[in-house]
């Protein structure tokens, strides 16, 4: 069946770029979001998130008439679900956070009245193993004859900051609930992806995505553990890693203030939650990376105490960066934000800096040059480009992301 119309549910970091790309490839795209202001912004040809090139794609998609945003779905040949799959936050630090697929279920229910025989329904959200089957189950419960509909998982794999390029160039994994669904869905992706489209089943596709992000989490945990050890041993961890990486089969990642974002800091829990104690390495890595942020907080507080004892006054601390990684405005699961919030809550005198954000509801955002001038202790939490090569004299500097040496 030739696909002409696509309904994309969820116009966030994945849904909107996907919708805009498809609309620029001559599909008619009906984008759906539950937030009216998001719908209005997009219909004006504008965007509500920061992502290079996305504005150009959305503007041309809306101007061409191929992209329209709405708060309700319509009938279409293909439905793409691109809604968040967070976890339930848990106050018990020793417990494993449980996945929350409520948005996937709600999105599935919202399309059910519009799904017709021959349609393709694709789940792109990163999901616990078994979620695609759950989508099928919810459609069936809502009265859809799922024997006549193609249902598949095609996990998004794009890196924020490079989304428009990676949407086209990355290889994709497609796993259907039937072999026909896999084939129909893979053929659809082949119309706009220049990377290879690899076919498998739904569960393997779900697990592949969780595996990719867990692989990264485990490897970053190794680097973060090294950073704590090196601090104890009086060794420069960045230099150590650069030296070790000169071995032809060693490739250690970079330590930081912790691991953040809605993906790598979340997805490994989906495996741990389902593993019943068997995912020991993956769970430990998650905890090592979370612990790194606690360690940073302790380090900053101890430095502040030493300053106070030496100078007889409470120091001003500049927290440099709040985003979850360099050069973006995304604060989701951000270790830098977690650290800054905790330092403020614990009564330290913080000047919060985030050059990619103008305003924040919880506290003031200070210009980075002003903060550096006013602060006694400068804490680099995120390696933003604007922080590189800054010359800071006569201040205590704590650099957790190696931005001052670059």
Asked if 17 touches ligand SAJ (CB under 6 A), the answer is: no
Q: Which one of the spans 197-205, 234-242, 255-263, 366-374 is the region binding ligand SAJ (CB under 6 A)?
A: 255-263
Given a contact cutoff of 8 angstroms between Cβ atoms, the answer to whether 19 and 29 are in contact is yes
Which residue matches tokens 């955002």?
A: 365
193 SS3 class: coil
Q: Which residues from 320-359 bind ligand SAJ, rule CB under 6 A?
A: 324-325
Taking the C-alpha atoms of residue 348 and residue 298, their distance in angstroms, rounded to an integer, is 12
Strands 150-153 and 172-176: antiparallel
Tell me the closest approach of the beta carbon of residue 307 to ligand SAJ, in angstroms: 27
- Taking CB atoms, the residue at the shortest distance from ligand SAJ is 263
Nearer CB in complex with ligand SAJ: 176/256: 256
Given a contact cutoff of 8 angstroms between Cβ atoms, the answer to whether 14 and 48 are in contact is no
Q: Which residues from 193-222 bind ligand SAJ, rule CB under 6 A?
A: 212-213, 216, 220
Asked if 156 touches ligand SAJ (CB under 6 A), the answer is: yes
Catalytic residues: 209, 263
Nearer CB in complex with ligand SAJ: 81/144: 81
CB within 8 A of 39, min separation 6: which ones?
11, 31, 33, 69, 70, 71
Asked if 131 touches ligand SAJ (CB under 6 A), the answer is: no
What letters, b where the CB count within 10 A reaches 16 and e where it falls short, cover 65-92?
A: ebbbbbeebeebbbbbbbbbbebeeeee
Which of 256, 268, 315, 355 binds ligand SAJ (CB under 6 A)? It is 256
> For the window 269-308, what string marks contact with ligand SAJ as x by the rule CB under 6 A?
----------------------------------------
DSSP assignment letter at 40? H
DSSP assignment letter at 147? G
Nearer CB in complex with ligand SAJ: 159/250: 159
Nearer CB in complex with ligand SAJ: 62/257: 257
Taking the C-alpha atoms of residue 389 and residue 279, their distance in angstroms, rounded to an integer, is 41
Nearer CB in complex with ligand SAJ: 47/381: 381
Closest of 375, 327, 393, 374 to residue 354, by C-alpha:
327
Asked if 160 touches ligand SAJ (CB under 6 A), the answer is: yes
Nearer CB in complex with ligand SAJ: 185/289: 289
Tell me the closest approach of the beta carbon of residue 338 to ligand SAJ, in angstroms: 11
Rg over CA atoms, the chain: 23
Taking the C-alpha atoms of residue 339 and residue 350, their distance in angstroms, rounded to an integer, is 11
Tell me the closest approach of the beta carbon of residue 96 to ligand SAJ, in angstroms: 19
Which of 108, 119, 126, 177 binds ligand SAJ (CB under 6 A)? It is 126
What does the binding site for ligand SAJ look like in residue numbers (CB under 6 A)? Answer: 126, 156-160, 212-213, 216, 220, 253-254, 256, 259-261, 263-264, 324-325
């Amino acid at each position: 069946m030739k696909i002409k119309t696509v309904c994309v549910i969820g116009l966030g970091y994945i849904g909107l770029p996907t919708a805009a790309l498809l609309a620029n490839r001559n599909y008619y795209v009906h984008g759906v979001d539950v937030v009216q202001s998001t719908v209005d912004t997009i219909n004006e040809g504008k965007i509500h998130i920061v992502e290079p090139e996305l504005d150009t794609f959305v503007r041309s998609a809306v101007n061409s008439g191929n992209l329209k945003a709405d708060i309700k779905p319509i009938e279409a040949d293909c439905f793409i679900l691109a809604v968040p799959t967070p976890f339930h936050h848990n106050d018990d630090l020793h417990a494993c956070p449980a996945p929350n697929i409520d948005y996937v279920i709600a999105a599935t229910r919202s399309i059910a009245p519009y799904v017709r025989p021959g349609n393709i329904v694709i789940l792109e959200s990163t999901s616990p193993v078994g979620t695609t089957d759950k989508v099928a189950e919810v459609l069936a419960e809502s009265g859809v004859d799922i024997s006549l509909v193609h249902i598949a998982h095609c996990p998004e794999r794009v890196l924020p900051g490079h989304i428009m390029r990676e949407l086209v160039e990355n290889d994709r994994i497609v796993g259907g609930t039937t072999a026909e669904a896999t084939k129909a869905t893979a053929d659809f992706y082949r119309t706009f992806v220049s990377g290879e489209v690899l076919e498998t089943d739904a569960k393997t596709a779900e697990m592949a995505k969780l595996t990719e992000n867990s692989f990264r989490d485990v490897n970053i945990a190794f680097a973060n553990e090294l950073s704590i050890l090196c601090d104890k041993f009086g060794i420069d961890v960045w230099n150590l890693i650069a030296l070790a990486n000169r071995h032809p089969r060693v490739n250690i990642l970079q330590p930081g203030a912790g691991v953040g974002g809605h993906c790598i800091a979340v997805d490994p829990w989906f495996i741990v939650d389902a593993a019943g104690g068997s995912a020991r390495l993956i769970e430990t890595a998650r905890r090592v990376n979370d612990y790194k942020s606690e360690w940073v907080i302790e380090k900053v507080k101890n430095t502040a105490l030493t300053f106070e004892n030496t100078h007889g006054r409470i120091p001003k601390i500049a927290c440099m960066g709040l985003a979850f990684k360099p050069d973006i405005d995304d604060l989701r699961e951000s270790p830098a934000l977690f650290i800054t919030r905790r330092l403020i809550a614990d009564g330290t005198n913080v000047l919060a800096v985030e050059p990619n954000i103008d305003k924040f509801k919880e506290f003031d955002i200070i210009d980075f040059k002003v903060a550096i001038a006013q602060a006694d202790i400068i804490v680099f939490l995120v390696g933003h480009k604007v922080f590189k090569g800054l010359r800071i004299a006569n201040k205590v500097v704590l650099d957790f992301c190696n931005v001052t040496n670059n």
